[in-house]
Structure 1
Amino acid sequence: MITVKKVLNNNVVIAEHPEYEEVVLIGKGLGFGRKPGQEIAGDQAEKFFALRSSEEQEQYKSLLNYVEEDFIALMGEEIERLEHTFSSRLNEHIHVGLTDHLYFAVKRIQKGQEIKNPFLQETELAYPQEYQAAVKLAEKFNEALSIRIPEGEIGFITLHIHSALTNRDLSQINRHTQLVSELVQQIESYFGLTVDRKDINYLRLVRHLNNAVERVDNENYADNQDTLLKVLQQEYPVCYNLSWKLMKMMQQRLKKRVPDAEAVYLTLHIQRLVSSEQKSE
Structure 2
Amino acid sequence: MLTVKKVLNNNVVIAEHPNYDEVVLIGKGIGFGKKNGDEIAGEHAEKFFVLKNDEEQRQYMNLLQYVDESFIGVMNESVEMIENRFSTKLHEHIHVGLTDHLYFAIKRIQKGHGISNPFCKETELAYPQEYAVARELTEWLNEQLDVLIPEGEIGFITLHIHSALTNRDLAEVNKHTQLISQLVELIEDSLKIKVDRQDMDYLRLVRHLHHTIERIQSKTYMEKQDNLQKVLQSEYPVCYSLSWQLMKVMQQQLQTPIPDAEAVYLTLHLQRLAKSNE
Please say if residues 239 and 271 of structure 2, whose CA atoms lie closer than 8 Å, have aligned partners that are also in contact: yes
Please say if residues 8 and 31 of structure 1, whose CA atoms lie closer than 8 Å, have aligned partners that are also in contact: no
| Counterpart residue number, 1:213 | 213
TM-score relative to the length of structure 2: 0.93
| Counterpart residue number, 1:56 | 56
| Counterpart residue number, 1:106 | 106
| Counterpart residue number, 1:20 | 20
Q: Distance in 2 between matches of 1:34 and 1:271?
A: 68
Counterpart code for 1:129: Q
- Secondary structure of the corresponding residue to residue 15 of structure 1: strand
| Counterpart residue number, 1:197 | 197
Q: Determine what percentage of the aligned residue pairs are the same residue.
A: 64
Please say if residues 126 and 207 of structure 2, whose CA atoms lie closer than 8 Å, have aligned partners that are also in contact: yes
| Counterpart residue number, 1:74 | 74
Count of paired positions: 275
Q: Distance in 1 between matches of 2:55 and 2:223?
A: 41
Q: Which runs of 4+ in 1 moved over 4 A?
A: none
Q: Distance in 1 between matches of 2:275 and 2:184?
A: 15
- What's the CA shift for 1:144? 1.1
Q: Distance in 1 between matches of 2:140 and 2:174?
A: 25
- Secondary structure of the corresponding residue to residue 214 of structure 1: helix
Q: Distance in 1 between matches of 2:124 and 2:172?
A: 17
- Secondary structure of the corresponding residue to residue 22 of structure 1: strand
* Alignment of structure 1 residues 1-281 onto 2, 5 Å: 1-27=1-27, 29=28, 31=30, 33=32, 35=34, 36-41=38-43, 44-45=44-45, 47-278=47-278
Counterpart code for 1:11: N
5+ long unaligned stretches in structure 2: none
Please say if residues 24 and 57 of structure 1, whose CA atoms lie closer than 8 Å, have aligned partners that are also in contact: no
Counterpart code for 2:158: T
- Secondary structure of the corresponding residue to residue 277 of structure 2: helix
Counterpart code for 2:271: Q
Q: Distance in 2 between matches of 1:58 and 1:272?
A: 51
- 1:190-227 deviation line (CA, Å, top 9, x unaligned): 11111111111111100111111222233332221112
